[in-house]
Amino acid sequence: MLRTAAAAHGPVAVLHFDAHLDTWDVLRGATLWHGSPFRRAEEQGLLDLDHCQHVGIRGGV
């Protein structure tokens, strides 16, 4: 969905409600997993990082 929106409108702002950022890199050799979607989206130039927000984040990591 992010790829489609960015293709039509350019980099998009995301308002992300979750307890975790989902910006991790690799887990047990996997680069695509539930903890990495926003890292992959940023790497592909899909996000307007000046306007993205993460809400509800908890934990020290």
In this predicted model, what pLDDT tens digit does every residue of 10-51 receive, in sequence order?
A: 999 999 999 999 999 999 999 999 999 999 999 999 999 999
Q: What DSSP designation does 40 have?
A: H
DSSP state of 41: H
pLDDT at 59: 75
pTM (predicted TM-score): 0.85
Query: What is the rounded CA–CA span in Å between residue 20 and residue 33?
Result: 13
